[in-house]
Amino acid sequence: MRAIGPIKTLIVDDSPSVRAVLTRVLAEQDDIHVVGGARNTAEARELILAHRPDVIVLDIQMYNGDSLTFLRKLAIHYPVPVIACSEPTEAGHEAGVRAVELGAIGVVTKPRSITGRTLHRWSEDLVQTIRAAAASRPPAPPLPTTAAGQPPLFRDADLDPGRYLVLIGASTGGTEALRQILRITPPDFPPIAIVQHMPEGFTASFARHLDAQSPLKVSEAIDGELLKPGQAFIARGGRQMRIVHRHPEPQIACGETEPVNRHCPSVDVLFDSALKIVNRKLVGVLLTGMGADGARGLLRLRQAGALTIGQDQQSCVVYGMPKVAADLGAVQIQCPPADIPGTIVRALRAAGNTHHAVAAL
């Protein structure tokens, strides 16, 4: 566990100006202490030995090209939370998603401007990401899916996927949790709408990586898309995502850029929008993350008759959002990510059997 006191933060970036800006921005925070700035991974190793940082902010596109190799070695020899920092380019977004797959706790984009409002908003996001990283713990390795946890095909459970809609919210640590869920989700699963707190630009790359690993079709959400079974939609970074009913099938609405609960996209915005969908049985899932985004929305879903699931404490990188939801009474079932698809199938089948039994009386 991290020692009590300011969060000791190491900056690793080959740009002197970026190191200077980061140091200045973080020095304004009473709970964050920059222990050093390294221009390459060799210097970073020396500073790690000297200062034992709690969090590392790592430029993943340094000129020598060894940032991702360094990240792999950190996971083995010094498993400290790492925040990947990349350029606001397509290559940077791909590198950021790859860093998250290798264990980075979060990803931020370098600001296009180091002055004014842009820098202010970016620095706020970085500070919150560092705090979340410091509060995190290494994710437990996923357990092999047991026969009980392996979900059957939706239709084999006598369920019509077109009658359901699954909503998932996640933040810090959620990228790995989502990977565990979507790897084993049956291909005829109901449509899934997902909000993962992630900066603008990264969600398209993240969706492509998930699509390559999942039986479902996974894509970044597009305004006006219909929510059909066998598909999962990742909310675009920097845009709120809602579910609306302008067609016989629910569809996605994207647009607003104002943060809610400090987030854009926000889990609460997604959850609350689905309450207006009257011809689908709703399932709400809240995964690991710092803060409370999605907790009250999950409570409102449960009060409206939805099945609600929270990630359990043992498997959370940050047991924040699911804990707040559980404390509010919003969570019906708690389980690790790999058990969530099977849990949904079994719970919906049990609810359907109960309904049929009551109807036959």
- Name the residue with higher pLDDT: 171 or 148: 171
pLDDT at 359: 37
Q: What architecture is the 7-134 domain classified under in CATH?
A: 3-Layer(aba) Sandwich (3.40)
- Residue 257: how many other CB atoms lie within 10 Å: 11
Which of the residues 171, 205, 266, 273 is marked catalytic?
171
Average pLDDT, integer, range 322-340: 97
- Which structure tokens are listed for 172? 């810090």
Verify whether residue 205 is a known catalytic residue. Answer: no
Average pLDDT, integer, range 7-22: 93
C-alpha closest to that of 81 among 60, 62, 100 = 100
C-alpha closest to that of 54 among 1, 113, 116 = 1
Return the H-helix or E-strand segment holding 242.
Answer: strand 241-244
CATH 3.40.50.180 matches 155-360: yes
Return the H-helix or E-strand segment holding 27.
Answer: helix 16-27
- Which structure tokens are listed for 136? 């995190």
**Average pLDDT value for the chain:** 90
Backbone angles phi, psi at 38, to 5 degrees: -110, 140
Average pLDDT, integer, range 282-307: 97
Verify whether residue 30 is a known catalytic residue. Answer: no
Helix extents (H) in the chain: 16-27, 41-51, 67-77, 90-101, 116-134, 174-184, 202-211, 267-274, 295-303, 321-328, 340-360
- Omega cis (within 30) before 141: no
DSSP string, 262-302: TBSS-HHHHHHHHTT--SSEEEEEE-SBSS-TTHHHHHHHH
pLDDT interval class at 150 (50, 70, 90): low
pLDDT at 114: 64
Cβ atoms 196, 170 nearer than 8 A? yes
pLDDT at 140: 59
| Amino acid sitting at position 356 | H
For the chain, percent of residues with pLDDT exceeding 70? 92
pLDDT at 83 over 70: yes
Within 8 A by CB and 6+ apart from 25, the residues are: 119, 123, 126, 127
Point out the least confidently predicted range of 112-121, 258-267, 274-283: 112-121
CA distance 297 to 302: 9
Which of the residues 59, 123, 197, 312 is marked catalytic?
197
pLDDT at 151: 77
What digits encode the pLDDT tens for the residues 157-195?
899 999 999 999 999 999 999 999 999 999 999 999 999
| Amino acid sitting at position 74 | L
What digits encode the pLDDT tens for the residues 197-247?
998 889 999 999 999 999 999 999 999 999 999 999 999 999 999 999 877
The full set of domain ranges for the chain reads 7-134, 155-360
Verify whether residue 327 is a known catalytic residue. Answer: no
Average pLDDT, integer, range 17-27: 91
pLDDT at 291: 94
pLDDT at 130 over 70: yes
What digits encode the pLDDT tens for the residues 26-43?
999 999 999 999 999 999
pLDDT interval class at 4 (50, 70, 90): confident
Average pLDDT, integer, range 246-264: 90
What digits encode the pLDDT tens for the residues 55-68?
999 999 988 778 99
DSSP state of 156: G
pLDDT at 122: 83
- Name the residue with higher pLDDT: 212 or 149: 212
Within 8 A by CB and 6+ apart from 73, the residues are: none
pLDDT interval class at 144 (50, 70, 90): low
Average pLDDT, integer, range 331-356: 87
Which of the residues 54, 188, 268, 293 is marked catalytic?
293
Q: Do domains 7-134 and 155-360 have the same CATH topology?
A: yes
pLDDT at 141 over 90: no
